[in-house]
Amino acid sequence: MYIPPVIIISGPTASGKSQIAMELAAQFNGSIVNADSMQIYQESVILNARPSPLDMQQIPHYLYGEISLRYPCSVGLWLDWFRELLKQPLLSGKPLFVVGGTGLYIKALTQGLAVIPPVPAVIKEEIEKSWQQLGPESFYHQFQQIDPLMAQRLHPNDKQRLIRAWSVKQATGKSLSEWWQTGNPALPIKYLLATLIPERPFLYAACDQRFLKMMKKGGVEEAAAIYQMKLPPHLPGMGILGLKELFAYFEGAITLEQAIMLGQQATRQYAKRQTTWFRNQLPNAIPIPIDSREQAAIKKVTRTLGDQIKDFLANLK
């Protein structure tokens, strides 16, 4: 089976990955594959800044809107979808541009994946309640006693990953770090891995602007439709940035202005965690500085990456 070359463009939210991928995919006659754990869900288009219908007409896009928020999507499921995608004859001879900010997807694609038994929903719900009752600081201190190895890897405010790690430890009796040591090998792909490194002031401003833009495009209405679905809070899709804050607005706990401000803050904090994660977990990635979403800055990045991609593809022949 022919396996197409893979160009991975990673980086924090709002850093310009999608725009850069569009230009490079057009230049190299490639397709784009989603590596964002939230863009995988069907019901959220605006809040996850999914590519527009026009973008999808111009360049083939895959693994966007694959599953309902009602169902959990795991890194293992995404990897299975990617494996099946490689079998499509239409992709023969064309590079795949894997684009996203979910580091675990990219790490699994390039380094392999640990096979972790499924965690019962009741355990996840119990750990979620503990987070709500204890608060981040106390929760993290208790987690340090339960799983010191994973506590060293995770930020005290990284709610989703801390709950996941504690749930795995409670369900299996083993730390996530132990499971990671006994995993499946990486897929037999040839890849080029680059990470966008935005300057901090630009990144934070871009996060704020991104959230405001989503609100103007109908993000509140989209969040309201999801709110009406009455989904359990432990589902992974409930981690969509801004959703929790907008839910609080719907329940009358805060004003819309406060929800927007808190949503922007959550986006900035998430982008900061992503930047740290990529730096620590993907040290072999090619760092690509970027200081603006202006066209000149985007063109500079696409030129730099374009030269790297040309060399990469030439060496495969």
Compute CA distances 130 → 1, 123, 143, 160, 215, whole Å: 48, 11, 11, 13, 31
Q: Give the burial class of 1: count Cβ atoms within 10 A of its Cβ; 0-12 exposed, 13-18 middle, 19 or more buried.
A: exposed
Torsion angle of alpha carbons 300, 303, 304, 307, nearest 10°?
-170
Position 314, amino acid: A
Strand-strand pairing, 183-184 and 113-114: antiparallel
In this prediction, residue 89 carries a pLDDT of: 77
In this prediction, residue 118 carries a pLDDT of: 79
pLDDT in tens, 100-154: 999 999 999 998 877 777 788 889 889 999 999 999 899 999 999 999 988 887 8
pLDDT in tens, 248-282: 999 999 999 999 999 999 999 999 999 999 998 89
At CA 41, angle to CA 161 and CA 277, rounded to 5? 30
Domain 121-180 matching CATH 1.10.20.140: the answer reads yes
pLDDT in tens, 156-169: 888 888 998 999 99
Contact 16, 298 (CB under 8 A): yes
Torsion angle of alpha carbons 134, 136, 137, 143, nearest 10°?
80
Contact 69, 225 (CB under 8 A): no
pLDDT in tens, 184-231: 667 889 999 999 999 999 999 999 999 999 999 999 999 999 999 999
Q: What gap in Å lies between CA 275 and CA 289, rounded to an integer?
A: 12
Q: Which CATH class is domain 6-114+183-316?
A: alpha beta
In this prediction, residue 183 carries a pLDDT of: 59
- Strand order across the 191-198 sheet: 61-62, 31-34, 96-100, 6-10, 191-198, 286-290
In this prediction, residue 134 carries a pLDDT of: 92
| Ranges in the chain annotated CATH 3.40.50.300 | 6-114+183-316
Q: What gap in Å lies between CA 313 and CA 6, rounded to an integer?
A: 10
Contact 5, 96 (CB under 8 A): yes
| Ranges in the chain annotated CATH 1.10.20.140 | 121-180
